[in-house]
Amino acid sequence: MNLAKFPRARFAHLPTPLEPAPRLSAELGIDLWIKRDDCTGLAGGGNKTRKLEFLLGEALEQGADTLITQGAVQSNHVRQTAAAAANFGMSCRIILENRTGNQADDYLWNGNVLLDRLLGAQIRTVVAGTDMNAELLAEAEAVRKAGGTPYIIPGGGSNAVGSLGYVDCALELAAQANDEGLVIDRIVTATGSAGTQAGLVAGLAVSGADIPVLGVGVRAPKAKQEEAVFNLAVETAGRLGHADRVTRDLVVADCDYVGEGYGLIDQAVVEALKLAARTEGLLLDPVYTGKAMKGLIALARQGAFEGQTVVFLHTGGAQGLFAYRDELDAML
């Protein structure tokens, strides 16, 4: 596998640490390790930084001067995209969708949104249900009319270019496990826009590493989520010349922990945030890693990981905690 053939802008802090979580392991009765992709740098880090290395590489190769992307109001991806644009002297236009309908000041203006503004992004907010692909195309046309050269990045950076970042992560994690003498039985990660899980699945399949990946869904129902991940994993592996190595059985999502919906938190999410923070000093976010940890905790306590070594991929997002101050104050 030769990732060097793809254009890449290198700015992530890699490799990210792979750390044992002894106190949380004892609490859950499993051997739990944390892959710290909250430590990738770029305005607080997170999983999108890996994707953006390949997306920015392609954008720069195409001579783009403006990055355009979209996400939910408290999107971690948008924050990291705005930071990448600033880092390379590019303009950034972002479209935020209020998927939750939350009108609290902290949700609309604090957390990631505050950072988006600090980073100099041009922000436009739309209501839930807006055709975001159409909005991206309209924004790109506006840039062209103004004499600029746009580069559109899909929500979450989740296409076959961005997913190469998690092919690279799969290789990095396998090498770290070999160095530690660690036999990983399962990787658990949040799965939403599909690119992180798809990249991991593709990278592990193409490299021959026999490690199953469980995605804990944060938005879509199981069938829809698995279809999205599978299709993107096949496309990503195809860019590496081995689409046939991704089989349907490699894609597994558990979407029983979404709760009331995307971006909506409940007491079990808060308990997951508290447990991670108070056993390991680990800060998770309410939307992605909090729900993934909620699922991991429930499954561990049901015996699903008995006798296993599990790696939890921490995809970042603690900046979003500040947008949920009222909800968290009421439940902490």
Residues with a catalytic annotation lie at: 75
CA 226 to chain centroid: 16
Phi, psi (rounded to 5 degrees) for 55: -65, -45
Tokens in use for 252? 């597994």
**Distance between CA atoms of 287 and 222, rounded to whole angstroms?**
17
Count the Cβ atoms, other than its own, within 10 Å of residue 253: 24
**Distance between CA atoms of 66 and 1, rounded to whole angstroms?**
31
Q: Choose among 112, 163, 113, 153: nearest CA to 133.
A: 153
Q: Which is it for strands 31-36 and 122-127: parallel, antiparallel or unpaired?
A: unpaired
For tokens 């089989």, what's the residue?
247
Q: What does DSSP assign to residue 140?
A: H
